[in-house]
Every structure is written in C-alpha cells, then in structure tokens.
Amino acid sequence: MVASERQSGADRQRREEELVRAVLAAFERTPDVRLRELLASLVRHLHAVVRETRLTEQEWAAAIEFLTETGQISDAHRQEFVLLSDVLGISMQTVAVNDTAGPAATEATVLGPFFVAGAPRLERGADIAMGAQGEPCWVEGSVSDTAGRACAGALLDVWECDEDGLYDVQRDGAAMAARATLEADPEGRFWFWALTPVPYPIPDDGPVGRLLRATSRSPMRAPHLHFRVSAPGARTLVTHIFVEGERLRRDGDAVFGVRESLVRVFERQAPGTPTPDGRQLPAERSWTRVRFDIVLEATGDLRPAR
C-alpha cells in the first residue's frame, strides 16, 4: 500500500468519526435529558452499523423502502412495526430489561398485538371460548405476591387463538371470543375453561413475513395462553404459559418469547374423564388441564390496580 492510499484511509476514518461527533453535538442541547441520552445512543449505534458493514446507498434505499412499507401496511388493527420489533427480539429485550422482579416472581413475556382492553368480564369457572373452536382446557391457579400474600380479587385478562390459529380480532366482524377478564377469589385462586393452545403463525403477509422468508425463519409462535395480571400492591404482569411438548422444542418461537419457567405440561385427559367442575363434554371429546401459580412483584402501593 502506498503512502497516499494509507493517508486516504486515515482521512476517511477521520471524516467518518467527525461526522458522528457532529451529529452527536447537534443533539447536545436537547433539553429532555432522557431523550438526549436515547438519541445519542441511537446515533452512535446506527453510525456504527453503517461504518462496520460499509453500507451501500442501494442497501440503505432498500432499508428505507422496507420501513416505508412497514408503515403503509399498519393501521388500527395491524401494527407491522410492533411485529418487526418482535421478530428482531427488541420487544422481548425490552421486556427483559424491565423485568426486574427477581427470581421469586413469575417471569414476564411479550404482550403481542392481540390484547384487547375491555374483554367480557366472566365468572370464575366460565368458558372463555365463547364459541371459539378447539379442545377444552381446564385452567386453575393462584395469584400471590413476592411478600407471600395471596392477591385477593386480582384481575386476570386471558386471551388466546382458536384451533385454526386465529384470534377473534383477525376474523372480520367476529364477536369477542377466547378472551375474558376474571377476578381471583379472596384467597387469590382462579379457575376457568379455555382452549388447549395451538401453534400459529404471526401475520406474515407483509414486509415482516418477507423478512422471515428471506432469512429462512419460521413465522410460528410456540403454543401459548396469554395472561395480564394486576392486583393492588403489586406490579402488573404480562406473560404467557407455553405448552410443553414437541411443537415447542421443534419449531421454537418467532418472537423469542419462551422462558423455561413459563412452560407447563397441559395434561391430556381421555374422552369421558370426569371434569373438575362436572361439565359435560361431548363423549368423544378429549380435554386438557393445566395449573399456573402466579407470583407478582410486591410494590407496597395498595391503590386499586385499575
């Protein structure tokens, strides 16, 4: 390498570093300290990506086109940016960074795009399926906190897909189904009927689906049942339980949401096995049962949860 080429390499590096410093300086007067910190980190890391990969202008244009499509396909019912965050593991990383409850508390995982506020309030013991099809599943458990107190009257939002792998909100004009809000009893106990969770693909007919295919990744989520649990004096927990089994081990989870501590055996019961509450199921219908004891992080703030 001749001296002038070495010089130009050093010049280039100096110019690139100067640009990073100039951009950081441009944000330095941001009055909101946290916003300044976030932007500085973003600028440092994004510039590092461009420099490390020697990003071409065509590649950057393609990335912008991809992000543009991600925005264009998003609406009130579809949030492709959330999906992008999910498949990049950013949603789960954000959950992990904020899940500071310690090992005694139940682990958190992603909320996902299918939570709906204001789900029907059902009695303990009810069937949340409300017409959604699938194998019945008896779910029972308790809610307590890390201080060892039972969370009397804890509120549980539960939601899941049907046997076709679809949530109610994915079916045009469908009524709410396979979702409910339930209240724990004075000892913090709950029980209800749901559907045995099945694996399903995240929406993959948009740019995020293209990204998954281009990278030979599966769109499948491990079978799960969603929970959002709140109680006075405790931090609200968003989590799932996952079905132990071959599906989980083989297909993994497109959004990196699985935590070993959240995997449960859903015990399959042969048709005709008496149910815990005497519910009569069709003679040929198998069912499953699962237990989930939830421990919320105690905060000491005893105002009503919501």
Q: Which does 113 bind (CB under 5 to 8 A by kind): ligand BEZ, Fe ion, none?
A: ligand BEZ
Cα 138 from Cα 291, distance rounded (Å): 8
Say whether residue 290 binds ligand BEZ (CB under 6 A). no
Q: Which does 295 bind (CB under 5 to 8 A by kind): ligand BEZ, Fe ion, none?
A: none
| Subset of residues 12 to 31 that bind ligand BEZ, contact rule: CB under 6 A | none
- The residues facing 162 across adjacent strands are none
Say whether residue 83 binds ligand BEZ (CB under 6 A). yes
**Near ligand BEZ by CB under 6 A, which window of 111-119, 176-184, 276-284, 298-306?**
111-119
**Cβ contacts of residue 270 below 8 Å, gap of 6+?**
286
Write the binding mask 29 to 68 for ligand BEZ: x where contact by CB under 6 A, - elsewhere: ----------------------------------------
In this chain, which of 113, 165, 206, 245 binds ligand BEZ, going by CB under 6 A? 113
Q: Which does 202 bind (CB under 5 to 8 A by kind): Fe ion, ligand BEZ, none?
A: ligand BEZ
**Beta-carbon neighbour count of residue 51 at 10 Å?**
15
Strand runs labelled E in 18-128: none
| Subset of residues 191 to 250 that bind ligand BEZ, contact rule: CB under 6 A | 202, 221
| Subset of residues 78 to 117 that bind Fe ion, contact rule: CB under 5 A | 112
Q: Is 140 left (phi over 0), alpha (psi -120 to 50) or beta?
A: beta
Cα 234 from Cα 146, distance rounded (Å): 9
272-296 b/e with 16+ CB inside 10 Å = b?
A: eeeeeeeeebeeeeebbbbebebbb
Cα 73 from Cα 290, distance rounded (Å): 38
Say whether residue 158 binds ligand BEZ (CB under 6 A). no
How many residues at the interface with ligand BEZ, by CB under 6 A?
A: 9
Cβ proximity to Fe ion, 125 vs 165, nearer residue: 165
Cα 86 from Cα 66, distance rounded (Å): 16
The least CB distance from residue 111 to ligand BEZ, in Å, is: 7
Look at residue 291 and give its three-state secondary structure. strand
For residue 118, which phi and psi values (nearest 5 degrees)? 80, 35
DSSP 170: G
Look at residue 191 and give its three-state secondary structure. strand
At 288, list the tokens: 């499953």
Give Cα separations from 131 to 127, 184, 193, 197 (angstroms). Answer: 9, 23, 12, 15
Say whether residue 112 binds ligand BEZ (CB under 6 A). yes
Say whether residue 89 binds ligand BEZ (CB under 6 A). no
Cβ proximity to Fe ion, 112 vs 233, nearer residue: 112
Say whether residue 179 binds ligand BEZ (CB under 6 A). no
Cβ proximity to Fe ion, 151 vs 242, nearer residue: 242
Residues near ligand BEZ (CB under 6 A): 83, 86, 110, 112-114, 202, 221, 255
Residues near Fe ion (CB under 5 A): 112
